[in-house]
Amino acid sequence: MAFGDLKDIAIALGIKKKIGRLRYNCIKAMLAAENLTSKELAEHIGVHTQTVSSWVTNVSQPRLDELYAVAAFLRIDPTDLLS
């Protein structure tokens, strides 16, 4: 799936506007619920551990393609990360 396709899907789902700052750090909570580490997530989706650390501490937020990769790793719907 190309990035353009993800963008179109996100717009269709109405989630693109929600990606600013996540109100609650769902990534951190969902990793903990599955007994997974930030390092495992980083290795699986091909980003630096510092990048994931920035996401789970709300210093920065994942790009749309990264959000979909995180959701796939956690086996959840991407919109679950935006609540």
Please tell me the predicted confidence (pLDDT) of residue 19: 52
**What residues make up the domain containing 53?**
3-82
Rounded to two decimals, the pTM is 0.70
pLDDT tens digits, 44-66: 999 999 999 999 988 888 999 99
Helical residues (DSSP H) of 1-83, grouped into ranges: 3-13, 26-33, 38-45, 49-56, 64-74
pLDDT tens digits, 6-59: 666 655 555 555 555 555 578 988 999 999 999 999 999 999 999 999 999 888
Residue 81: count other Cβ atoms within 10 Å of its Cβ: 25
DSSP state of 35: T
Q: Distances in Å between the alpha carbon of 7 and those of 13, 18, 25, 75?
A: 10, 13, 22, 20
| Number of domain units in the chain | 1
CATH number of the domain encompassing residue 42: 1.10.260.40
